[in-house]
């Protein structure tokens, strides 16, 4: 017999977490798979649960001048439908699972699962998103890199809940998202890359590159990105191999039922290379205008 709490409000949910450390349960699309046993047999739930997916006060998408903010219990379907959500996140979420699952699964579940192959996690890392963790007595904001420390591991405390995700609004000229999966629907990523850049007058002002399922946590290197910044896009393309070699040094993939480590490494580098190749258009347009 499992103990299940069904709070009427976030406040009640937070006090249940503080008193019992019951496990957050949102859409259950990760948890029910994790706990399944044999076909036709009820899943084995190891600890008390606190249901969160029905809490309307955590279902919203808002924006102001600085951030797009997504309530933790917003479904993937609602994220797909919202024009306020940054294109890269919408693109990734619309490719996750399949419509029926997206109606149940929420953004906090993808983050809380802390899988290296979590598609929203990879995009949120690229977009410098802040994950808001709340407890009955405090609130804190962490980046994906600060929150997720390994496969299935986070620094979330037993009295905390993810309550929202804040995505800084920025101007970008180049957007890139590719997911490599066995098929288009209902397939977890073998590998994914999310990246963007701001190129002005042929000079790279900003660039962000994240790779999912290529290491125990999403790969993002501020060091490599800062080396790219201020370069002319043509110069970067000439030096592309140097940057690919640097990313190669960060990739630590595993072989599992979905893919081999070698395929993941090759695909990650190919996708980063494809993203950098999109800067070629800047070189052409700059040459035309000069």
Ligand X SMILES: Cc1cc2nc3c(=O)[nH]c(=O)nc-3n(C[C@H](O)[C@H](O)[C@H](O)COP(=O)(O)OP(=O)(O)OC[C@H]3O[C@@H](n4cnc5c(N)ncnc54)[C@H](O)[C@@H]3O)c2cc1C
Q: Note the residues at the interface with ligand X (CB under 6 A).
A: 23-31, 33, 52, 72, 96-97, 101, 104-106, 108-110, 112-113, 118-119, 161-162, 186, 188
- Token look-up 């035309």 returns 288
Calpha distance 129→146 (Å, rounded): 11
C-beta closer to ligand X: residue 69 or 233: 69
Shortest spacing between CB 66 and ligand X, in angstroms = 23
C-beta closer to ligand X: residue 26 or 91: 26
Calpha distance 105→91 (Å, rounded): 16
C-beta closer to ligand X: residue 101 or 145: 101
Shortest spacing between CB 196 and ligand X, in angstroms = 19
Shortest spacing between CB 55 and ligand X, in angstroms = 9
Nearest to 258 by CA among 206, 218, 212, 207: 212
C-beta closer to ligand X: residue 161 or 207: 161
- Token look-up 């299935």 returns 152
Shortest spacing between CB 141 and ligand X, in angstroms = 14
Shortest spacing between CB 171 and ligand X, in angstroms = 27
Calpha distance 6→112 (Å, rounded): 19
Shortest spacing between CB 188 and ligand X, in angstroms = 5
Shortest spacing between CB 30 and ligand X, in angstroms = 3
Q: Which residue has the closest beta carbon to ligand X? A: 109
For residue 137, count other CB atoms closer than 10 A to its CB.
Answer: 8
Segments in the chain forming alpha helices (H): 10-20, 31-34, 76-81, 87-94, 99-104, 107-113, 119-126, 144-147, 222-228, 233-238, 240-248, 261-277, 280-289
Calpha distance 26→18 (Å, rounded): 18
- Residue 125 in tokens: 């890392």
Calpha distance 69→53 (Å, rounded): 17
C-beta closer to ligand X: residue 159 or 282: 159
C-beta closer to ligand X: residue 166 or 174: 166
Q: With contact defined as beta carbons under 8 Å apart, do 188 and 82 qualify?
A: no
C-beta closer to ligand X: residue 25 or 247: 25
Going from the C-alpha of 206 to that of each of 56, 93, 199, 278, the distances in angstroms are 37, 24, 7, 14
Calpha distance 143→151 (Å, rounded): 16
């Amino acid at each position: 017999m499992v103990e299940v709490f069904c709070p009427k409000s976030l406040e009640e949910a937070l006090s249940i977490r503080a008193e019992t450390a019951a496990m957050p349960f949102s859409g259950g699309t990760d948890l029910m798979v994790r706990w399944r046993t044999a076909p036709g047999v009820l899943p084995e739930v190891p600890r008390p649960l606190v249901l969160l997916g029905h809490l309307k006060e955590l279902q919203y998408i808002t924006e102001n001048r600085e951030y797009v903010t997504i309530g933790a219990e917003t479904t993937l379907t609602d994220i797909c439908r919202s024009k306020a959500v940054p294109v890269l996140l919408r693109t990734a979420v619309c490719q996750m699972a399949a419509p029926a699952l997206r109606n149940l699964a929420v953004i906090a579940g993808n983050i809380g699962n802390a899988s290296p192959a979590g598609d929203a996690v990879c995009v949120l890392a690229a977009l410098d998103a802040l994950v808001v963790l709340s407890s009955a007595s405090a609130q804190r904001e962490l980046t994906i890199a600060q929150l997720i420390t390994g496969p299935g591991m986070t620094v979330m405390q037993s009295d905390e809940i993810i309550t929202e995700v804040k995505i800084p609004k920025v101007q970008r000229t180049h957007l890139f998202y590719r997911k490599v999966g066995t098929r288009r629907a209902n397939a977890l990523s073998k590998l994914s890359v999310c990246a963007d850049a701001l190129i002005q007058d042929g000079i790279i002002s900003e660039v962000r590159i994240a790779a999912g399922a290529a290491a125990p946590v999403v790969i993002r290197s501020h060091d490599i990105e800062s080396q790219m910044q201020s370069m002319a896009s043509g110069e970067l393309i000439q030096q592309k191999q140097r940057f690919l070699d640097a990313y190669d040094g960060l990739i630590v993939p595993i072989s599992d039922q979905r893919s081999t480590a070698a395929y993941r490494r090759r695909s990650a580098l190919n996708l980063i290379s494809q993203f950098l190749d999109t800067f070629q258009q800047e070189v052409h347009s700059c040459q035309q205008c000069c």
